[in-house]
Amino acid sequence: MTGLSTARSTTTLRLGTRASQLARTQSQTVADALTAAGGVPVELVHISTEGDRNAAAITQLGGTGVFVTAIRAALLDGTVDVAVHSYKDLPTAPEPGLVLAAVPPREDPRDALVARDRLTLGELPAGARVGTGAPRRMAQLRALGLGLEVVPIRGNVDTRMARVVPGDLDAVVLARAGLARLGRLDAVTEVLDPLQVLPAPAQGALAVECRADDERTLQLLAALDDPGTRAAVLAERTTLAALEAGCSAPVAAHAELAEGDDGLELYLRASVTAIDGSDGVRGSLTGPVGDAERLGRELAADLLDRGAAALMAASR
């Protein structure tokens, strides 16, 4: 056994995570994968973030970074060695001193409806109250023209679902990925078609960070990386960054890998929707997997040419 292998098996990695059930479940999955890949024991370290402590709307808290800043600070000061985030919570700008060491295989990124009486979106009556915490979902649900009353809500998965039966809401819309990780897919009454509600950039993906100078941890985490997921999310997040929009903006983007004439290609779709649902722009591009960033920039430029900036400004 080499010295590195000995170090891997005897030195515990401290993994920083939010303390919510979903965050702990996601982080435990990464911890288990690290132990399986490198024989390294992993300890979860629960960290309270601004988004956890404050019940105000994310837009009122400043949007981008409210769930990750405290965890990144703990990583930078050496309190933890690894951080696991829901990728869509990360600011688009890189954090000096840190590196995105792994993007594990992604869960299904689509949104899911949890409704009373097992109703689908189209079966909800006009005036039905549908809860969601995301401006993107609010905007797209209103744009469907179904006459729904879209209600802003916060809270963990169980708190949100508890408002449906019995409660004051007819339905809630959540990320399917979170429900899958928590084993709650039985509550889903409809998985929403991206043609109706396009997912958030990086929805369903995890981001695993470590310090840029931590060679041992970088090597361990490399085994968890999924190149296809990384490329798809890079295209989506580049679109978001080029639009100069934060994670609380009414911006959606979704990239899929497909076999093309010359190998694997990315099919990237994105949209910007007015928060009241009255207007919106959508677009798509296809290109080689290696051109993920270019595709994101070009699609963002197309959306901006067609009025995306004004739609985002009106939503602030």
- Examine the residue annotation and report whether 170 is marked as an active-site residue of this protein: no
Q: In the structure encoding, which two tokens stand for residue 132, read together?
A: 């969601």
Q: Where are the alpha helices (DSSP H) in the chain?
A: 3-10, 21-38, 50-53, 69-76, 135-143, 157-162, 176-181, 215-222, 227-242, 292-305, 308-315
The sign of the dihedral angle between the CA atoms of 316, 235, 283, 194 is negative
Helix (H, G, I), strand (E, B) or coil at 182: coil
Kindly name the residue from 89, 170, 214, 291 that is annotated as catalytic: 89
Q: In the structure encoding, which two tokens stand for residue 284, read together?
A: 């798509």
Closest CA to 115 of 197, 194, 190, 193: 190
Q: What share of the chain is helix, strand, coil (3-state, %, to 5)?
A: 40, 25, 40
Closest CA to 203 of 251, 155, 142: 251
Helix (H, G, I), strand (E, B) or coil at 151: strand
C-alpha 180/C-alpha 227 separation (Å) is 22
C-alpha 104/C-alpha 98 separation (Å) is 17
- Single-letter amino acid code for the residue at 26: Q
Residues that are catalytic: 89
